[in-house]
Amino acid sequence: MLKVENLTFDVMEDGMKKNILGNVSFHVEKGEMLIITGPNGSGKSTLAKVLMGIEKAAGGRIFLDDKDITELSIDERAKAGLGFAFQQPPRFKGMTVEKLLCLAAGRRLPEKECCDLLSGVGLCAREYLGREVDGTLSGGEMKRIEIATALAKPHKLCIFDEPEAGIDLWSFSMLVKRFEEIHRSKEESIIIISHQERLIQMADRIMLLRDGNVEKIGTKEEMMSSLMGVQATKNCLDRHKTLGKQEDE
């Protein structure tokens, strides 16, 4: 359903070309959930943005249902069936939550449908419909609204970049339940970028990205030893950050 062949992406740093993604190849079947994980700075979010067309690939091809979408714009990819939820959602002063959901769905949504979408990501729906998508909303609220917009319209494949970031445990549980419902239906494919164990345990397959390359891809059982090493490294880095903050204080 989604096939990625030898995808590369470069940036310029201090006048020199730096490779962020190097010959990344993988596929996602119809109805499959693929979790992409890996150390910080491994290129996960960049890969998501390249797939959606937010960033332009330096090389390689992207196919959706055997159609080459490599040169398509973001809008064209969305029309072809790709959905995307940002790690850091954009804000739109002057636009209400209800209008944003309708725009995402591509049609005028009944109030009940808007409420159901918001309730599904842990928001008290009627309190938010008339609110503007601006700086008055917290980061966690913005994140949940962003996910609701991604779920407002059926997609062939939807990409979620660290959906657990910035939301509380109760809202996260609601989100996991929604992912489980989508996954059970097998009507949409899902790519989730995450370190979160509960999401990883839901995956059909897991892809480990390191230094912009696919280090390994396989089932949970095949990937467990590799993932334990990544998690141990992440925990160590988190401890160092915590200690550094304490020393600064």
pLDDT tens digits along 65-117: 999 999 999 999 999 999 998 877 888 888 999 999 999 898 999 999 999 99
Contact 178, 121 (CB under 8 A): yes
Whether the per-residue pLDDT at 190 is higher than 50: the answer is yes
Whether the per-residue pLDDT at 241 is higher than 80: the answer is no
Residue 151 half-sphere exposure, CB side, CA atoms within 13 Å? 25
pLDDT band, very low/low/confident/very high, at 146 (cuts 50, 70, 90): confident
CB neighbours of residue 206 within 10 Å: 23
Secondary structure of residue 17 in the 3-state scheme: strand
Mean pLDDT over residues 11-26, rounded? 90
Longest Cα–Cα distance in the chain: 55
The pLDDT of residue 244 = 52
Whether the per-residue pLDDT at 245 is higher than 50: the answer is no
CB neighbours of residue 30 within 10 Å: 13
Nearest to 36 by CA among 203, 169, 174, 155: 203
The pair of structure tokens assigned to 219 is 């089932």
Which of residues 203 and 229 earns the better pLDDT score?
203
The pLDDT of residue 205 = 96
Task: Classify residue 186 as left (phi > 0), alpha (psi -120 to 50) or beta.
Answer: left
Percentages helix, strand, coil for the chain (3-state, rounded to 5) are: 40, 30, 30
Mode of pairing for the β-strands spanning 33-37 and 189-193: parallel
Task: Classify residue 38 as left (phi > 0), alpha (psi -120 to 50) or beta.
Answer: left
pLDDT band, very low/low/confident/very high, at 194 (cuts 50, 70, 90): very high
| β-bridge mates for residue 28, sequence order | 2
The pLDDT tens digits of the residues spanning 159-178 come to 999 988 877 787 788 788 88
The pair of structure tokens assigned to 204 is 């059909």
Residue 155 φ/ψ, nearest 5 degrees = -130, 160
* Three-point CA angle 96, 101, 105, nearest 5°: 150
Q: What is the pTM of this model?
A: 0.83
Residue 48 half-sphere exposure, CB side, CA atoms within 13 Å? 26
| β-bridge mates for residue 205, sequence order | 34
Contact 57, 1 (CB under 8 A): no
